[in-house]
Structures are given as C-alpha cells and as structure tokens.
Structure 1
Amino acid sequence: MANLDPKDLSHARDRLLDVATDHFCANADVLGLFVSGSLAAGSFDAYSDIDLRVVVRPERHGWFVQNRRNIPMEWPGFLFNEWMPGTRHCVSHFAPFNKVDIFYLDAAKLVPSPWYRLPTIILHDPEMIVAGLVEASRELPFTVTADEVDISISKGIAAAHETFRRAKRGELVYAQTLLDELRHHMMLADDWLYERTAETTVLAKFDQRGSADVLQVLGNSYCALEADKILTALSGLVANYRLQVQGLHARFKPRRPIDNDLAALYVISQ
C-alpha cells in the first residue's frame, strides 16, 4: 500500500485547484466559478476532494457538458474519470490521490436554492452572478418531501426483504451488498429525523453526525460471509429501522399505510 503523506496530498490538491481555476478563468464562456463542500466549509482534511461548480454561457453549456471528460485530461497528474451518461458533471482523479468533482451550470437556468446558502468560496464572478445567487438563496429552507420519504421507505424495506431472501438461498455476497442498501436508507432516515437536511444526499462523514444508537447498530451489523450471521445482522438493523419508519410516518406523513410497513418489517424480524 502506498505511503501517502497528508501534507503532500494537501499541497497537490491546492495545485490542482490552482490549475483548474486558471483554466476556467481564462475562458470567456465561463461566467462564474465557485467551490462548495468541505473545502468551503473548512471541514476538510488531506483526503477531501474539490467540489467545483462552473457557471457557463447558455449557448456553450452543451459544449462543456459534452467535453466534461476531456477538459481535466489536459491537466497535470490526470489518472482517470468516473462519469455517467446524461449527467452534467464528471469526477476526475489525479496523482497522487486527489480528485475534483466538476459540475457545469447553465447561467440561464440558475435559480435560488437552499444548497447555495451552504458555505461557498467564489473564485471567479465578473458579472456577480454567483454572488447574487448566493444572496437570493440565503433565507431558503431545506425541505424533505413526503414522496422522498415514501421512496426511501420502499427501497429500505425491499432491501431488507431481499437480504433475507438471498441469505436463505445462500447467495451471501449479494446479501451483503443488500445490507449496505438498507444501511444507506437508515442513514437517510436518521438525517431526516434529526433535521440534518443539508446532508440528505451526502452520506459522507455520517460517522461524525449520526445518532449514537444508529451508529452503534450500523457498526454491529458488519459481519462474516455466513448466512446465520447475515440474518442476525439483518435482525438488528430491522429492529432499529422499524423505529425509524414509525418516526418518518409521524413526521412526514408519506402516502402509504404505516401498518403495512410495520407488517412488512415484522415478517423478517423473527
């Protein structure tokens, strides 16, 4: 395993941000450039990535999205991209162990959002577009919809059921991956129930903010690749998830019968 010096990682990340800033600021089609995430919030460490947002002219937005994989390849230390078709961002990895997540935003489609009231470092804003967006977003609250809760409960219960089914069949590797999906929805539920809505789509650093009981249950659920141990882990997770589901119903009133959800969880809690 490589011996990564935290100071070297931090210096390399600073250099990468300088390269990206110089690249985009030199382009007349870039109307704004800002950093969000842990770097802006001051909660970063040597392993934190760069969350970069690039505001571009509407008529050129398509070009930037189309070339989102090519642009970082021109920068020193490039290793590889991770990306998905149909998206407007790309995560690019660089030597020695850094990465930058770049979103391309159409200037004509920017609207105020509670996400823009989170800590932001503006790097380039000649027409004050980003500053105006941040100001207009300052008082907007984070909200969680009943539909979002409905979807999460469905997926959480389905993951629990499928874990049980696959463990009983001896499909243990798959069962382990399904336990992770259940854990994901338990983490979402914990954030929602404790109004940590700024983190509802970002499960990183849950170790630092999660409720003590949920963290303990999650920690105890990691087990060997054996059917009985997977089922025991599932039972512990489901016992806590039942309480979360009850709390979600009480708080968000999703359009689904609570009795059905509790019955569905009871089936696999034996």
Structure 2
Amino acid sequence: MAIYLAGSLAKGNDDNYSDIDLHTIVISERKAEFLKGKRNRANNWGNVTFHEDYNPSSPYVVTHYNTFVKVDSWYHAPEEIVPSIWLKEVEVIYDPFNIMSHVIKESAKLVYKPSPDEVEHWRGKLLAFVHETYRAVMRREMLYALSNLDRIRWLIVSGWYMEMEEHVDVPYGVWTKIEGNRSKLDGKQLSLLESWDCGRNSYEIIKTLRRMIPEFIRLNKYLCTQVGVETNEDHIKRIMDMVI
C-alpha cells in the first residue's frame, strides 16, 4: 500500500555504510503473511551474508549483504502509522492510496521538548549506572564497570540532546551518529566525550566517573528547571559522595 525510507537516506546525511531503513505498509489482514516471507523477500535484493532476526512474527528483519549494505525491513499495517517525531524526516517512495501525506504533514508540526517524566527517568537511570559502576569496580568486574560507564556517557549525551530540544534519533545506548560528520554535538561536547575515555584499571574508571559528574550536575539543574522538576541537588550530592 505504501513504501517509505527513514534514517540517514531520507535525511540526506548518508554515507557508504549507512543502513537502509525500508518501511512497507501492507493490508492489515495480510501483515502476518508478509512477516512470514520477510527473509525470503530480502533474499531477492542482493547476495545475503546473514539475517539478524529469526523470529517470524517480529515486524522487521535486519539483513546484511556481501557489499556491507545493511537493510532494516519493517512492515506496518495502515492503522499503525500515526504522526510521530520519528516520522518528521522520511522519504515516501510509493503511496498510491495517499496514506502518508497527512501523517507526514502532522509529524512535521511536532516539536520535541523533554517532559518532566522523561527528565526524572533520565536522572534515575544515570544515578543507577553510577552506583552500578562502583559495585562492578568493587567486585573487580571491569568489563561490566566499563559497560556501565559507557551508559553514563551516553545518558549525558542524551541530556545534551534534551538541552538542545533535539530528539535522539538512535536507539537507547547506541552510539551511531553521535560522533563524526553527522554529529549534532559541538566541539566542547565532543572534547568532553573524548576526555571520558578510559581503560579497565579500577582507579582510572573511578577517576573518569568523577570527571563526568560535574556535567551531569549542570544538566540536571538546567533540565529540571526547564520542566519544573525539583533539582534535589543535596540528595544527589549525597548519592554521588557514596561512590566518589
């Protein structure tokens, strides 16, 4: 019924290694049938190296080809396509029934602003990863500590995007488009990210964590003020003092 592209290709900031985010809208009654044939369909588009997903009922399949092309093929019923921040920048390839025009028009009107719930969730997750990093270091679980530290780093980036009132156009914890030519971060922010790199030495991990805290404190104060949430600065300081 309709086909559209999302992601880098639709936005015009693609490179030779960008995913192809292909979305197909199918008749509701035939969606299950399309999902069953999603891998076979993708096999017709080139020489397949492998598929990531083997669940026949999931709404997508990720296919890797022998040219390093990767296609994320999504299938939707018409009623699932509603105005969304995620549909602000898409490229419609085929739409004979005019399914997409209203959705795209309404999506273009949407302006992202962080909500109080979103800011509180962001703060809670970041504090949790701070304590998990400390626990992992105390247990000598260095890979786990580094994984948690990476989540803190990513959540601070997420905070920067909220500060800019920009929607993070990547899944949670994923680093694509955060650095490089497609980054929306400024030079100072990118320099901070680079300075927060560290190895698996326990002292270095805690030292890096300590260097990240001031930016979290600043973001917490700014974002909470913007959305009308208590900053809880004294409480947060006590939480941080437990680990650093």
- Maintained 8 Å contact 1:142/1:198: no
TM-score by length of 2: 0.86
- Maintained 8 Å contact 2:225/2:231: no
After the TM superposition, which of the residue ranges 141-150 and 78-87 deviates more from structure 2?
78-87
> Quick one: distance in 2 between partners of 1:97 and 1:115?
25
Please give the per-residue CA displacement for 1:28-86, whole angstroms capped at 9, x wherever unaligned: xxx00011211111111111111111111111123333444443234321122223867
> Quick one: distance in 2 between partners of 1:91 and 1:255?
42
Structure 1 residues 114 and 170, CA gap change in structure 2 (3 angstroms): closer
* TM-superposed deviation, 1:143: 3.5
Unaligned ranges ≥5, structure 2 = none
* TM-superposed deviation, 1:256: 7.9
Q: Please state whether the residue corresponding to 2:165 is helix, strand or coil.
A: coil
Structure 1 residues 124 and 103, CA gap change in structure 2 (3 angstroms): same
- Maintained 8 Å contact 1:33/1:125: yes
* TM-superposed deviation, 1:100: 0.9
Unaligned ranges ≥5, structure 1 = 1-30
- Maintained 8 Å contact 1:56/1:104: yes
**Equivalent runs, 1:1-270 vs 2, <5 Å:** 31-83=1-53, 87-118=58-89, 120-197=90-167, 199=169, 201=171, 203-207=175-179, 208-254=183-229, 257-269=232-244
Q: AA paired with 2:178? A: F
> Quick one: distance in 2 between partners of 1:255 and 1:236?
24
> Quick one: distance in 1 between partners of 2:36 and 2:234?
48
Q: Please state whether the residue corresponding to 1:154 is helix, strand or coil.
A: helix
Aligned length: 238
Identity of aligned residues (%): 26
* TM-superposed deviation, 1:255: 7.3
* TM-superposed deviation, 1:200: 6.6
* TM-superposed deviation, 1:203: 4.7
After the TM superposition, which of the residue ranges 129-138 and 51-60 deviates more from structure 2?
129-138
Q: AA paired with 2:82? A: V
> Quick one: distance in 1 between partners of 2:18 and 2:136?
36
Q: Please state whether the residue corresponding to 1:206 is helix, strand or coil.
A: coil
> Quick one: distance in 2 between partners of 1:145 and 1:180?
24
Structure 1 residues 164 and 211, CA gap change in structure 2 (3 angstroms): farther
